[in-house]
Amino acid sequence: MKINRILLLAAFTPLLFSCSEEVMDDINKEKNETTEMTADYIITDCGLKTAFETTGTDIAWYSSVYIEHSAGTWGQHASADKRVGQTSNSLMNNNWSSLYEVLKNLKFVLDKTDPINGTEPTNRWARGIAYVLTAYNLAVATDMWGEVPWTEALQGTIIKQPKYDKQSEIYPKIFVMLDSAISNLDMATTGLSAVDYIYGGTFANNKASWIRAANSLKARYWMRLVNRDASAAQNALDAIGDGAFTSAAEEMKFAKYENTATAENPWYQFLNDRTHLSVGQTLYDLMNDRNDPRMNVYFSLIGGTIVPAPNGTATETQGGTYSQSLLTINGATAPTPLMTYHELLFIKAEAEFRTSVASWQTTLHDAIRAAFASKGLSDTEADNYFTNEVTPRLLGNELNEILTQKYIALYEHEAIEAYNDYRRTGIPEMHNPNNSTVGFVNRFPWALSEMSSNKNVPQTDLDYIYTTKVWWAGGEELVP
């Protein structure tokens, strides 16, 4: 009898142990918290990363040097100014990875909100905002690198080596995304209670703002194509007419930085930590020739005067020799602009001039007013500047002055767009002597992570960044 009891207990023990393991597993589950993030919370993170990583760091800093807003006077950016090491595949590797990480997370949102197969099929506004941010990040990728993976990208282990798409095929997809954004934002929706870092408050309150952002971005991207599409300027005007920004209060920007060591504007952090950039001679000369009152808010003083650094030949220094940006010195919490109202007005002025719309000069005046206001200057100061300095330069030289004024207005945090404009138009004239001896940097080098893992990276010589423009700037595409 005793033996039977022992055998019964021995037989029951594994069942008891197994049952206990299942019970413990169940007890250890957190039943009050979701195991998967909803679409609108992913969007919040994507807005933050788009502003900080895509728009606010290396891509902008290198663009600022190439476009001669700044002179590189220390470290990697002194090398950039002298055209040393710019063909290195490690140069922009981190930014490439960050861009595709953001695009991957945005794809999660688009998958979740798919009307047929998604887990949040009625979260239409999250879907619309995801399309806006996807279009923005994809445009930065193709603008900087030219041909990039897209149609086969973001597939994980399904496609480990995605093909590279032509820029001429990517841009139509960007317009489709922005149209899809607008149509989704016009629908009834559920969800979307998370914080909106771009427009403040929650996403649910900002439907109209995101629609205006989408239309404004369409205008930007249509103007990018003026060398490739005869209707591009008119299409830009049509996008503006469909409902773009109507004031600076509606512009697309991240304004959530804090005056703490880990939450400051990245330009400010970069200045304090590394001090690689000084005021470029090219920008200074254009403003000085025009008696531009913005010099007092743009540039710091050295010994009581503005001392610009000669682009491409400056002495290497970490401060004290050349003037630096007051916008950054005083900008610990300055916003990161993804697209501003004054940029939109400059786009409109150029598009009107190209399509012979008589009001282009009035629009240019409005753009200068908006640019002055963005830096704390008055309409009166803008009006005097326009009358005395801009108007006389318009006679027979209209497009050059429109784009020169835009170039000045986009200093410093909008350097990416100044870089794009110069590559598109060649305005204003650059003066770095290394442009002649080595070359102007027309695009970024392929990322090291791609070179080591993707056989589809276009095969080029090391100098292609100097010799081959991106497609919309008139270059040949590097994939068949």
Q: At what angle do helices 124-145 and 39-49 cross, to 10 degrees?
A: 30
Question: Mean per-residue pLDDT for 58-86?
Answer: 98
pLDDT of 156 > 70? The answer is yes
Q: Is the pLDDT of residue 194 over 90?
A: no
Span 337-353, mean pLDDT? 98
For residue 10, pLDDT over 50 is answered with no
Going by pLDDT thresholds of 50, 70 and 90, the confidence category of residue 204 is confident
CATH code assigned at 83: 1.25.40.390
Q: Residue 114 domain-assigned?
A: yes
What pLDDT, on the 0 to 100 scale, is given for residue 3?
40
Q: Is residue 7's pLDDT more than 50?
A: no
Q: What is the mean pLDDT of residues 238-255?
A: 98
What predicted TM-score, i.e. pTM, was given to this entire model?
0.92
Check pLDDT > 90 for residue 261. Answer: no
The answer to whether the beta carbons of residues 389 and 290 sit under 8 Å apart is yes
Element (H, E) at 149: strand 148-149
Give me the pLDDT at residue 379, please: 98
By mean pLDDT, which of 34-43, 105-114, 163-172 is the weakest?
Answer: 34-43
For residue 136, tell me if it sits in a domain: yes
- What mean pLDDT comes out for the span 161-173? 98
pLDDT in tens, 12-36: 444 444 445 554 455 455 544 555 7
264 domain-assigned: no
49-53, 200-204, 434-438: least confidently modelled range: 200-204
Structural domain contains residue 317:
no
Q: Is residue 218 part of a domain?
A: yes
Q: Is residue 239 a part of any domain in this protein?
A: yes
Token pair for 65: 């040097």
d(CA 455, CA 139): 23
Does some domain include residue 340?
A: yes
CA–CA separation, 415 and 407 (whole Å): 9
What integer is the mean pLDDT of 212-237?
Answer: 98
Full residue range of the structural domain in which residue 125 is found: 39-254+335-473
Nearest one of 137, 139, 132, 170 to 152, comparing CA atoms? 170
**Radius of gyration from C-alpha coordinates of the chain:** 26
Number of domains in the chain: 1
Average pLDDT, integer, range 458-477: 95
Of 73, 423, 406, 439, the C-alpha closest to 271 is 73
pLDDT at site 22: 53
What percent of the chain is predicted at pLDDT more than 70?
93
**143 lies in a domain?**
yes
Confidence band for 192, pLDDT divided at 50, 70 and 90: confident
CB within 8 Å of 246: residues ≥ 6 apart: 212
Mean pLDDT of the chain: 93
